[in-house]
Amino acid sequence: MNKPLSVVIFSKDRAAQLDLCLKSIYKNLGILKEHLKIYIIYTASSEEFKKAYVKLTTELYKQSPSVYFFPEEKFGGFQKTLNYCIKHWEDYVLFFTDDDIVYREFLDADFDKIVSDMENENLICISMRLGTNTFVQDQYTNSYCLIPDNVILSSEKIRKWNWKEQPKHINFAYPFSLDGTLFSSSTAKKIIDKTPGYHNPNSLEGKAFACIKDYIDELPDSMGCFEKSCVINTPINRVQETCLNGAGKFFGNTPEELNENFLKGKRLTLEGMDFSTIIGAHQELKLIWSEKCS
């Protein structure tokens, strides 16, 4: 692999879910594991949440020296922390939030070919949360997501479509998602640089997409995804009030409950989780605890 990859994970008050996200990355992006540099931008709203991050940081340094933690309070807030972190990015960047799970093994070892195709086809991004299986837009309203014909009919490894021509309310028209989306660092930086006044990941996403219309002609027309999604966002709780999206209606666990169990030594595990019916980019799943610290 000649082209390095940075993974950026955004986290707030969710050390337990961040730990699970990292486990899923190591397990299902294992072919890329030796080449990853992982940057975690995080914040904690209480001393108990801080304790959990300290605990996780200590454990990870023993196992994974290529994981770097960036506490927002040290750098002057979310936007300043992200701008500092950007300076360290490799050629490509893959975004996650702490409630994302790489639920299915990413089998293609030829990352160089994937990014070469991305460059040659002039793709704005490759989304790992989308695929022919992600036909539900909102699990709480039972609304459907129109999958572009190019995605359904294509037999190519990377399925491409014009995101600018899609209905504006669907996931296939939303290129700047932070849930498992791969960008060239230059493209991600351009979008971030043109986004004013954000203070958390939700406001970054929302304001970035609102601003895109002002320079849309400067951005590639096409997005890409694989036949089936690899990443699922599990909205079992909410830690911000910027976007009042639904959360925790089916398998809710409060951040406080998860944090208390984490500090007691329990860890969330992928073993026993049911990923057999992933039909959207956001879908609540029941979390499973392992009694022993992994």
Q: What is the pLDDT of residue 5?
A: 87
Q: How many domains does the chain have?
A: 1
Q: What is the pLDDT of residue 156?
A: 92
Average pLDDT over residues 81-105: 95
Q: What does pLDDT average to over the chain?
A: 91
Q: What is the pLDDT of residue 239?
A: 79
Q: What is the pLDDT of residue 251?
A: 87
CATH code, domain with 86: 3.90.550.10
Q: Quick: pLDDT tens for 174-206.
A: 999 999 999 999 999 999 999 999 999 999 999
| Share above pLDDT 70 across residues of the chain, in percent, rounded to a whole number | 91
Domain holding 171, by residue range, is 5-290
Average pLDDT over residues 118-140: 95
Q: What is the pLDDT of residue 33?
A: 65
How many CA atoms, within 13 angstroms, populate the side-chain half-sphere of residue 193? 9
Q: What is the pLDDT of residue 112?
A: 79
Q: Quick: pLDDT tens for 23-38.
A: 999 899 866 666 688 9
Q: How far is residue 255's CA from residue 261's CA, in Å, rounded to a whole number? A: 10
- pLDDT tops 60 at residue 293: no
Average pLDDT over residues 120-137: 96
Residue 95 and residue 231 in contact, taking contact as beta carbons nearer than 8 Å: no
Q: Quick: pLDDT tens for 228-271.
A: 999 999 999 987 666 557 666 888 899 999 999 999 999 999 99
Q: How far is residue 60's CA from residue 67's CA, in Å, rounded to a whole number? A: 7
- pLDDT tops 60 at residue 13: yes
> What's the Cα-to-Cα distance from 78 to each of 81, 197, 243, rounded to whole Å?
5, 10, 16
- DSSP assignment letter at 126: E
